[in-house]
Structures are given as structure tokens and as C-alpha cells.
Structure 1
Amino acid sequence: MEIDYKNIKVIGFDADDTLWVNETYFREAELAFASLLSKYETPNKIDQELFKKEIGNLPLYGYGVKAFVLSMVEMALELSNHQVSNKTIEAILNIGKDMLNKPVELLDGVEEVLKSLSKKYRLILATKGDLLDQERKLEKSGLTDYFHHIEVLSDKKEANYSKLLNHLDINPSEFLMIGNSLKSDVLPLVNIKANAIHVPFHTTWAHEQVSEQETNGKAYKTISSLFEVIKLLN
């Protein structure tokens, strides 16, 4: 599908797994959590139940590492019938602290692409998650100066994007969003008549996955590297 980007004036970037590594650390944490609770259930069952708990807690806790840790603690109590030791709870908290203290690992080409695009376009960062954690990662990344505006959203649905674009006085037809999640970074934008480019990451949280039916007929590009964005826009 041929898409014309000549009217684009503002480009939005997702952060986690678009600019830097994130989901990989959650997969590692899930393995560590399953190991801690191995006396109570199988790894597969623990993983399934933790995911259900996270989804159930989204309206209360939102996204991010802190919400993930709270769900792990709740799940440990439930799976152990409240027999889990204080030492194990401490170990779960330490999993979270370790995640929050991870270095920011930029994905290939990120800084070069931002530097190039910032010469012609207004760039914004539109991500979701815990505000303090996202601010910390952005500071560590060294990318702050490339962005005219930074927004940490509670969620990434059509209403959230519409509100953001209205607030910044951006016409949807002049806006391009770039991210790794079809559910959060692509489909909501296409549905409000904005533009989107999908840059897949090698691992995706189950909650962010969509069916082929949901993407059928939607106008967006999928690329394998951020470097391709520069070619598409030239």
C-alpha cells in the first residue's frame, strides 16, 4: 500500500522497544519470578496467572515496572495460599529494583535517525508507563534535546492521542507516529486519520498483540529498522 508522507510536520516516537530495550527485561523478570515460586506451580501456569493478574490490575495500577511488581507480589500470595516467605517477597521487590536500575540500551540507529529528522520535523515523545521511570530512562538515554514535547500517557487509545494532538494543535493528517506496538502505536493513529509506521521489536507483551483481522485494510507501513524512516520521508 502506497502512503504519501509529504504533509507530515510532526513525528511522534514511542519509547520502550522503539528507542530503547524494555520488554526483554520483563521476560527475564518473569523467568526469575517463576523460579522463586517453583515449589507452588509450574513455570507455564505461573506465567499465565501473572499475565491475568497484570491485565486485571491495569485499571488500578496502569503500566510499568511498579505495577508489574505489585502484580507479582499479589500473585505470589495467591499461588502460595499466603504461605510465601518474607524472603521471597523481598526477592520479588529486588527484581523490580533491578529492572528500574537497568542501563538504557538504545536500539540500532536511534540517535542518528532522531538527529536527521529533527532538522526538518518537530519531534515528540509519546509513551506510556510510570512517569518517574520513563523520565529516568529518557534522562539516561541522552535523547531529551531531540524532542519538542514529551508526554507520558496513562494509555494509548484513540481518545488519548486525540487529546494530545488537540492540546499541541496538531492536525492528525500532519502527524506520524512511529512505534513497535500495532495495538498502541499504530492502529489508534490510523483510526483517527493520522499516520503510523510499525517497527517491530523481537518480543512483544501478549497484551499488545493484535489479530490479523484487526489490521486488515489498515493503512500503515511496517519497516525492519528505524533507518528506513529517513528513506520513506525523503
Structure 2
Amino acid sequence: MATRRVPDREAAKAARFTHQIVEHFRSDPQLAKSHAETRNGHVVKVLCWLALLRDAQNRSLPLPPRPRVTCEEAQWQHFRESHPRQAAHMLPGQIMVDGRYPWLYLKDAAHARDLQLLFAEVRALPANFNKADSAAEGKGLTEAFRAAGEYVLHGRGPLRQDITAAYRTLWVPGARAAYAAAEEQKRSRPSVPSPVYDLERNIVNLDEIEEAGQSQWDVHDQIRILMRYGASLDEAPPELRPHKMDEILGRP
């Protein structure tokens, strides 16, 4: 895995306090709900800033009419975390526009900085969150994010309309399907093996049983996390409200 860079030391310091210290005192169910809801809101913010790139007046670099949109592995993060917790990214990947970071195209320096910081945002969470995230990303979460970004960047309708459509018709069903597929994959994992005895009735695979038992507990925890992720999609994030989108877009 490539070294992930810190975009802003002061922002990283604030994020470290919030997500390493404050979040530590919340329960896992609360964290799963908060993590997913924040992700949904961040997706809307990214869609807003990508939509701005449709207007040449908002760009510092030229773009073709239908630029190529890809989503790669995360490349920036505010801080690292030590065992037993891990730094879990809020967004499911790094959006690239024609091979460049999207903030490089934004003429407005504040918007560019905010967008870059969004991709670097992580939370200090138990390792099972990252495992649940990775499973969902492999089952289509990253693609749902990419497709939604492409939709708004290629769109020609009113900005808020296209952003809302991208969120509701691409992100929500894509993310929901990814969480469900990851959950199903976890449920299909082998169960704890049955004891194997020798002639004297000693259990000869005790280590295997203990290891599988811990692994099985972790899998059940990841399933619960994925279920809460899916439930977070039932309500639209505040960022999707018209006045909130206008604030993100920098409209008066």
C-alpha cells in the first residue's frame, strides 16, 4: 500500500483530537451509525464540488466535455492509528478526474482545500470497521461513489437536481447493494470447526477452534456494522437539503 500523505497539519491535529479522543467514548452501534451517516453527507459534498467543475469559470485547469472519472485507493489521511484501533477513511476511495486530484481543478482555494481535506478524513475505529468497509468497497461501494461523481460531472441539468439524482439513483442503491453483498459474503464464512478427538478423547484441534471462534465473533461484528451502514441510507443526509447544497456550492 502506498504511503498516504497528510494534506494539512493543523486540520490533522483537530481531526486527531475529535476522532481519536472524543469518538473513543462512543459505543460501536453509535459509531457505525455515525460513520455511515457522515460518509453519506461527505458523498453529497464531493458531488457538489464536482458539479462546480462543469462551469469553466470555476476551474483553474481545462477539462473536456466528458472527463474520465475513476476511483482509486485512498492516498491521503489526517493521522494513523495504533492497535487495536485503525484509521478508517470516511469516503470509499479517491476520486480522480482525468488522472488528477479533483481539487486541482477548482479555482476557489477554499473549496479546493475543503475537498482535499474531505478525502483525507479518517476516524479511529475498531479494526472490524475497516474490514467491513473493505468488504463493501470490493462489492461495489467504490463503484457507486465513482458513478455518482461521473453523473454530476457529465450532467447538464440544474446542479441541485443532478446532485440529488446522483445521490438517490446511483449512490443509495449502489451502496445498499454493496453493503448487502458484503454482509452475505460474511455470512457464508465457515463456522467454528467441530472438535476432533484422539484415542484418549483429547481435543487435538483446540487451537483451531479458538482461532476460528475469535474470527467468527469478528465476522458477526462486521455483519452488524454492515447492517447499520445499510440502515443509514433510509434517510437522506442533511447535506442533501437545498439550502445546505447551496451553502456547499458557495451560493448566496
State the TM-score, normalized to the length of structure 1.
0.34
> Rg larger in 1 or in 2?
2
State the TM-score, normalized to the length of structure 2.
0.32
Q: Which has the higher strand share?
A: 1
